Amino acid sequence: MKRVLTIIALIAIMTVFVTGCGGGGSKETEAAKGPADLTGNWKVSNDTFKMTAVIEGETITVYWEDGDTKSLYWAGSYKAPETAEEPYTWSSENDHNQTDKAMLASSADTKDFTYEKGELSFEASAMGTTSTVRMKKE
């Protein structure tokens, strides 16, 4: 009987020890994988406006796109994430040198972009209609 109680006590202690050591969870795993690389080409993934985006260096450029037609919607700053924490949001500053010359471009001074779970999102407006655009990396 003593032996059975000793074995049960050891199993209980080992269970507490193993559970305590492995309880780090997703935050540790997220931090270990590093920040997401958002550079590259993005394409709309929901039924909103037909748009594409390119993140390159310190810039993000968003276009209205329909077949062979491509028109500038946004040209602005991009700040890459420094951690793996999501959602990641940055406020892009408009490059008015580019957008002021484009008829279909946004005239806003800033635009907020969010990255979460492989998806880039932002609000876009055209002809009085505002939609949340969601994009996936190509």
Q: pLDDT digits over 50-80, tens only?
A: 999 999 999 999 999 988 999 999 999 999 9
Q: Which two tokens stand for residue 47?
A: 């039924």
Under the banding of pLDDT at 50, 70 and 90, the label for residue 22 is: very low
Strand runs labelled E in 2-86:
40-44, 51-56, 59-66, 69-77
Q: Which residue has the tokens 């450029």?
A: 61
pTM for this predicted structure: 0.76
pLDDT greater at residue 27 or residue 34: 34
pLDDT exceeds 60 at position 24: no
Mean pLDDT estimate for the chain: 84
Question: What is d(CA 114, CA 126) in angstroms, rounded to the nearest whole number?
Answer: 20
Percentage of the chain lying above the pLDDT 90 cut: 70
**28 or 118, which is more confident?**
118
Distances (CA, A) of 104 to 27, 48, 124: 41, 16, 11
Q: What does the alpha-carbon distance between residue 3 and residue 5 come to, in Å, rounded to a whole number?
A: 5
Q: What is the C-alpha separation between 111 and 76, in angstroms, rounded?
A: 8
How many percent of the chain have pLDDT more than 70?
77
Q: Which residue has the tokens 């109680």?
A: 5
Whether the predicted pLDDT of 4 surpasses 90: no
CATH class as words, domain 34-137: mainly beta
Average pLDDT for 128-137: 95
Q: Residue 14: what pLDDT? A: 43
